[in-house]
Amino acid sequence: MPRYFIELAYKGTRYAGFQKQDNANTIQAELEKALSIYYKASFELTGSSRTDAGVHARQNFFHFDTASIGEAADLQKSVYHLNAILPTDIVVRRLFAVDEAAHCRFDAIFRRYEYRIYQEKDPFQQDTAYYYPYKLNKAILEETARELLMHHDFESFAKRNSQVFTHQCNIISSQWQFDADVIIYRVQANRFLRGMVK
């Protein structure tokens, strides 16, 4: 059966996370609903990574298998119609066919997270950054970010009883950026363990 990747971005403020849950509104549930409405078929999505309640994503991927789209379908037109159905805080960027063996989670090359802190009250950052009006020690923050690059076993950062074969992760980059109105921490790795980036 043909497989498709769907790239999307979302503001997670109103959602109980990425993964479908009973009695909670999630990104996956909204996307599956939009696909079902547009293609008049049921869909089950697999995500590249999970985000928690209130977390935003500039780029996340899902994949699904379906014969409902058809080989000659205009996928760009599908993107337009899916965005018309989806809530305004979820946007589909691309929809494209892939090899049937492609897997959005296992074939991901890296994952990147960004944490934003603002120190002066700003209503325009309240949903996308953490308000911390106290002094931060820049040298300690930078030293801590560099320290992560020296480690590969992150078992102590993982949630208990997580079903993984290894706790090894390769941290590719870990750095702070200090701007006038926001402080940003970015961390990128080949993978993160469940609960690790919190």
Structure tokens at 37: 């409405």
| 8 A C-beta contact, residue 49 and residue 60 | yes
Identical topology for domains 3-98 and 111-189: yes
The Cα–Cα gap between 14 and 61 comes to: 19
Q: Which CATH architecture has domain 3-98?
A: 2-Layer Sandwich (3.30)
Annotate 40-109 with DSSP letters as a single string: TS----EESS---TT--EEEEEEEEE-SSS-TT--HHHHHHHHHHHS-TTEEEEEEEEE-TT--TTTT--
Confidence of residue 132 (pLDDT cuts 50, 70, 90): very high
Q: Which of 8, 7, 24, 28 is nearest to 16 (CA)?
A: 24
| 8 A C-beta contact, residue 3 and residue 99 | yes
pLDDT in tens, 37-86: 998 888 888 877 777 777 888 888 999 888 777 665 788 888 999 999 99
The Cα–Cα gap between 116 and 109 comes to: 24
The sheet with strand 111-118 has its strands ordered as 130-131, 111-118, 183-189, 171-178
The Cα–Cα gap between 130 and 133 comes to: 10
Boundaries of every domain in the chain: 3-98, 111-189
Burial of 186 (0-12, 13-18, 19+ CB in 10 A): middle
Confidence of residue 1 (pLDDT cuts 50, 70, 90): confident
The pLDDT score that the predictor gives to residue 134 is 94
65 part of the active site: no
Given this structure, which CATH class describes domain 111-189? alpha beta
Q: For residues 188 and 123, which has the higher predicted lDDT (pLDDT)?
A: 123
pLDDT in tens, 158-188: 656 555 566 566 687 889 999 989 999 998 8
Whole-number percent of the chain with pLDDT over 70: 84
Confidence of residue 153 (pLDDT cuts 50, 70, 90): low
Confidence of residue 150 (pLDDT cuts 50, 70, 90): confident
In sign, the C-alpha dihedral spanning 123, 125, 129, 132 is negative
Please give the average per-residue pLDDT across 137-160, as a whole number: 77
The pLDDT score that the predictor gives to residue 119 is 93
The pLDDT score that the predictor gives to residue 148 is 79
pLDDT in tens, 70-81: 665 788 888 999
